[in-house]
Amino acid sequence: MIEGIYISGSGLLPKSARQEAVANNLANVEVPGFKRDSMFLREVKEAMKQQSGDYPDWRLNRFEGGWTDFEQGKLRLTGDMFDMAIKGNGFFSVRTPDGVQYTRNGNFSKNDQGMLVTPLGYPVLDEGGAEVVIPDTYKVPIIDGSGTLKGRDELTGEEQELGKLQIVDFPELYDHVAKSQTPYQAPLKKGKDGLFIASPGTAQVPAEGYVLAQGFLEEANVEPVLEMVKMIDVYRAFEADYKAIQVQDGTLDRAVNDVGRVG
């Protein structure tokens, strides 16, 4: 009986973690460039154990870890000249107090120093690792598909190339062999600001095959309806385990206090 309570209680742990992931996905559904989180669960090996008659560990806790889905989100037209979206693989590089980090959120703006910055004020970097600076005399910069910034000086009428955005990629993100390893060491991890942090030793290369769209933003790759369905499903499964604990606890209480009582 106590083992049954333990098994039901352990079953609540992965459901709680999954509920947190789903809730976080829903909370960030309006954040440009957000990538949804999901969970690894031990399934194949546990199914093999069950078929062989071995003790199935999935009765306890199948939670193996979390992972991020980097699938391309839809592009939304904004018309803002500093909004940018990457169509294809790749990430913008930004400088933070904790070092260079990466993002798909191209909701940029120009600060009072002329630098291209993120909503949190972090400078966006060019291919040389320096801040992207747009002089005040260049009122309407043009950013082409490769990320090159061009503009015309309103005072002199001279056209000039202002720099090129640093768009990088991480080949390990698409390595299915690496993803099949347990535990899976993700090349990029989400930081507290929603930016991605490269894991130590992760290979970084210039992105290829992408197209940068000026005046667009990439929407979060979260389907709200599907996430709501998942949330309801997890809640019902959690509730079932919780009720199982209550039933077993009530039975154990009667066994100790009623059946075992000497008349």
Mean pLDDT by 10 residues, the chain (263 residues): 62 76 92 88 55 55 72 95 96 96 96 94 96 88 93 81 94 74 74 90 92 97 92 80 71 66 55
Q: Which residues pair with residue 91 across a beta bridge? A: 168
Residue 209 one-letter amino acid: G
| pLDDT for position 151 | 86
**Global confidence as pTM:** 0.78
Within a 10 A sphere around the Cβ of 30, how many other Cβ atoms? 11
Within a domain: 138: yes
Helical (H) or strand (E) element with 41: strand 37-41
Measured CA to CA, the distance from residue 153 to residue 141 in angstroms comes to 10
| pLDDT for position 148 | 95
End-to-end CA separation in angstroms for the chain: 24
Within a domain: 39: no
Measured CA to CA, the distance from residue 4 to residue 91 in angstroms comes to 48
Within a domain: 152: yes
Residue 151 belongs to what domain range? 75-218
Measured CA to CA, the distance from residue 47 to residue 53 in angstroms comes to 10
Q: What are phi and psi of 39, to 5 degrees?
A: -130, 150
> What's the number of domains the chain is made of?
1
Within a domain: 157: yes
Within a domain: 159: yes
Within a domain: 208: yes
Peptide linkage before 183 cis (omega within 30 of 0): yes
Within a domain: 181: yes
Within a domain: 38: no
